[in-house]
Structure 1
């Protein structure tokens, strides 16, 4: 099968305001991390501070967290957010930047950003005690967006 089978894929770039609005409105995406040559992409909720940072909270329910281990080993991560209504109406944003654990004095900003636009899944049972929560920040170095409005 060739790409010709799919027809022409068209899109236009999103400007900085459109990218920022999309980041603020979505609240969930795929965080891509890497460790020792192995890639790991995980869907995760996020908060956007409106300028140059995305915030994530990892919930630890066991002794080991794969997300935590990969995040700690990743210098530069990427984050993908998308919305697809049809093959002719879609938007996507890709963000790249340094990822690090949040500092103690950043937790108020983390909470505000998460409360403002993150999506909260009900993945965790009340019966499963959480061991801890850990905050991470992706410091945006580059972000691009594409769209097709049909």
Structure 2
């Protein structure tokens, strides 16, 4: 698969892509050990912040990685008609305790839609939902136009 052209997405294009989607891949690290998980999110284009709803058990691997001080990365992407676009947000996850939720927070988490199906290794009653905000230090996006001739070969 050859590349015909690659360009950076503008601020408006990044906001549009993040606004069109509701899921991405959250990557975390602890020391030199990586961890990645699909998540649901809501996006506030005015403040350029992402709101994540993470579901886990107290002893889960996810919970251990979320507690790390390493920066988090959220990747959102789409592909179609020979064009691939992606946005990468890099920053620190900040937990928002339920007692500190504001109306504005609730509105953002309302945009973090739940998947059409859910698969959990534990009973729902054993799962905790934690709410986080990712205020990206870096927010970048790229568009790649795929060379159709090399794709069809």
Unmatched tracts of structure 1, length 5 or more:
1-5
Deviation at 1:119, TM superposition (A): 4.7
Write out aligned runs for 1:1-150 (5 A). 6-8=1-3, 10-50=5-45, 51-60=47-56, 62-86=57-81, 88-103=82-97, 104-106=99-101, 108-116=103-111, 118-124=113-119, 128-148=124-144
Question: Contact 1:33 / 1:74 at 8 angstroms: preserved in 2?
Answer: no
Moved more, 97-106 or 41-50: 97-106
Q: What SS does the aligned partner of 1:81 have?
A: strand
Distance between the aligned counterparts of 1:147 and 1:79, measured in 2?
17
Pair 101,9 (structure 1): closer, same or farther in 2 beyond 3 Å: farther
Pair 45,99 (structure 1): closer, same or farther in 2 beyond 3 Å: same
Distance between the aligned counterparts of 1:8 and 1:91, measured in 2?
13
Pair 130,112 (structure 1): closer, same or farther in 2 beyond 3 Å: farther
How many residues are paired up?
143
Distance between the aligned counterparts of 1:129 and 1:27, measured in 2?
25
Distance between the aligned counterparts of 2:64 and 2:4, measured in 1?
37
State the TM-score, normalizing by the size of structure 1: 0.81
Unmatched tracts of structure 2, length 5 or more:
147-153
Deviations 1:117-139 (A, max 9, x none): 535242147x5324321111111
